[in-house]
Amino acid sequence: MTNASLGFAALGDATRLQIFERLARKPSSVGKLADRMAVTRPAVSQHLKVLKSAGLVLVSQEGTRRIYRVDQRGVELMRKFLDRFWDQALAAFKEAAEEREA
Amino acid sequence: MSHIEPVRKRIIVNTSQERAFRIFTTGIDRWWPREHHIGKSPLLRAVLQERAGGRWYSVCEDGSECDVGKVLSWEPPRRLLLAWQITGDWQYDPSFVTEVEVTFTAQGPNQTQVELEHRDLERYGDKAPAFRKSVDSAGGWPKIIEEFATVAGAPDAVA
């Protein structure tokens, strides 16, 4: 499975989507995310791990803290979506164009 | 924002160049995917106005209209340039433009090569993050994500 398709699956979970949206607004540490959400720290860590392996967030070390942020290459997700969208649309177009004239 | 490769597609359609162009444009309602509709009510009809500057939109069952973009260049039966103005937030934004160029090349009386290029995708970087829709809203990203996850689970999605 590609990173982009993993990305879409990773956002299918409500809590993960919420974490992702928070990071999209502002980079944050695990602790800060957990403080502001009704989710335990280990659970946040687990969600971040999924988001990270899906290529949606990046982590960097700032002093003693690990800061998570949305990977701006998430633009690639949009590209991936459009790529599939046009595959589907053009297949339907071909079918319509090859139908015999009524 | 760094350059993002355009989405490029090429297909062969077994019909004349004129008909291919006509079905793509005037006949857009016959093939436009229903499931990616962004409006609140089911899609009734997709419309592409046949002229440069023409609107590209869909009409919903409740009578509302949702813009997709517009026609930038109208050159039947050879070329079509469209503006796709749907942002990553899944909203129409008149100030946001990505280009979709479609060319129709006759390869015989009943065979046409159709090439499509959707470009300027790096502009989605300015509109990022593209995931602001709440999970329970109808349509938009959650729905796309759901559909995508289904497709992604299919064996052919393995990279």
A100 touches chain B (CB under 8 A): no
CA distance A58 to A74: 11
A36 touches chain B (CB under 8 A): no
pLDDT band at residue B135 using 50, 70 and 90 as cut-offs: very low
Q: Which of A28, A77, A93 to mutate to test the interface with B (most CBs of B within 10 A)?
A: A93
* Dihedral sign computed on CA atoms, order B68, B97, A89, B81: positive
Does B2 map to a domain? no
B155 touches chain A (CB under 8 A): no
Cβ contact B26:B77 at 8 Å: no
Cβ contact A47:A22 at 8 Å: no
B142 touches chain A (CB under 8 A): yes
Q: What is the CATH number of the domain that holds B99?
A: 3.30.530.20
CA distance B14 to B97: 32
Total domains in chain B come to 1
pLDDT tens by residue, A40-61? 999 999 999 988 887 778 899 9
pLDDT band at residue B40 using 50, 70 and 90 as cut-offs: low
Alpha helical stretches, state H, chain A: 3-10, 14-25, 30-36, 41-53, 75-98
CA distance B153 to B23: 32
pLDDT band at residue B131 using 50, 70 and 90 as cut-offs: very low
**Domains in chain A, CATH or no CATH each:** 3-97 (1.10.10.10)
Contacts of B108 in chain A (CB under 8 A): none
Predicted pLDDT of residue B15:
95
B33 touches chain A (CB under 8 A): yes
A15 touches chain B (CB under 8 A): no
Contacts of A92 in chain B (CB under 8 A): 31-33
CA distance B141 to B81: 26
Predicted pLDDT of residue B17:
97
pLDDT band at residue B29 using 50, 70 and 90 as cut-offs: very high
With both helix axes pointing from N to C terminus, report the angle between B140-152 and A75-98 in degrees, rounded to the nearest 10. Answer: 80
B49 pLDDT more than 80: yes
* Closest Cα in chain B, distance from residue A94 (Å): 6
Predicted pLDDT of residue B4:
78
Predicted pLDDT of residue B141:
45
Does B92 map to a domain? yes
Supply the pTM of this predicted model: 0.66
Tell which wins on pLDDT, B42 or A74.
Answer: B42
Does B159 map to a domain? no
Q: What is the pLDDT averaged over residues B2-27?
A: 92
Rg (CA), chain A: 19
Predicted pLDDT of residue A24:
72
Q: Which of A5, A19, A20, A100 to mutate to test the interface with B (most CBs of B within 10 A)?
A: A5
* Closest Cα in chain B, distance from residue A31 (Å): 22
Does B70 map to a domain? yes
| Domain enclosing residue B22, as ranges | 7-154
B13 touches chain A (CB under 8 A): yes
3-state SS, one letter per residue, for B27-68? CHHHCCCCCCCCCCCCEEEEEECCCCCCEEEEEECCCCEEEE
Does B121 map to a domain? yes
Q: Of A18, A21, A86, which is closest to B118 when you measure between CB atoms?
A: A86
Does B52 map to a domain? yes
**Nearest-CA neighbor of A36 among A59, A53, A18?**
A18
Does B106 map to a domain? yes
Put simply, the answer to whether B152 touches A6 (Cβ < 8 Å) is yes
pLDDT beneath 50, residues of chain A: 1-6
Predicted pLDDT of residue B91:
75
Does B1 map to a domain? no
pLDDT tens by residue, B57-110? 999 888 889 899 999 999 999 999 999 998 776 678 899 899 999 999 999 999
